Amino acid sequence: MPYNARLKTGEPRKRKKPGYRVTNAREYSQSLKKRGQLSPYCPDGDLKALFINAQPYVKGVSGREATYTDAYIELIYTFYWLFGWGTRPITGQMEEFWAIRGLDIAVPSFGHRVTEAALKIIIRQRLWAASSQSGQWRSRESDRPEHGHAVGPASEWHEQKYGRKAAHTPWRKVNLSIDPDMNVHAVSVTETAVSDTEAMDVVLAVDCPVDRVIADGAYYSIEKTETWSACGVLPVIPPPAHAVIHGESHTRWHDRVVGYINKKGSVYAFNKKYGYGLRSRVEAQISRIKRCIGSRLLTRKPDSQPREGVIIANLGNLWNSFGILTSVKIA
Chain segment 6-16, per-residue pLDDT in tens: 777 878 877 78
Residue 180 pLDDT: 80
Whose CA is closest to 144, among 205, 209, 235? 209
46, amino acid identity? D
Amino acid (1-letter code) at residue 162: Y
**Mean pLDDT lowest among 8-12, 26-30, 110-114, 127-131:** 127-131
Band of residue 280 on the pLDDT scale cut at 50, 70, 90: confident
pTM over 0.85? The answer is: no
The pLDDT tens digits of the residues spanning 185-226 come to 888 888 777 777 777 777 776 666 788 889 888 889 898 889
- What distance in Å separates the CA atoms of residue 69 and residue 64, rounded to the nearest whole number? 13
Mean pLDDT of 117-127: 67
Higher-pLDDT residue of 102, 54: 102
Instruction: Give the whole-angstrom CA distance, residue 20 versus residue 326.
Output: 10
Quick: pLDDT tens for 140-187. Answer: 233 333 443 333 444 555 666 667 666 655 577 888 888 888 888 888
**From 40-54, 98-112, 131-145, the region with the lowest mean pLDDT:** 131-145
Q: How confident is the model at residue 138 (pLDDT cuts 50, 70, 90)?
A: very low
- Residues 57-115: tens digit of each pLDDT: 777 777 777 788 888 888 888 888 888 888 888 889 899 999 998 999 998 876 665 54
* Dist. CA 34–CA 93, nearest whole Å: 19
| Three-state secondary structure call for residue 22 | strand
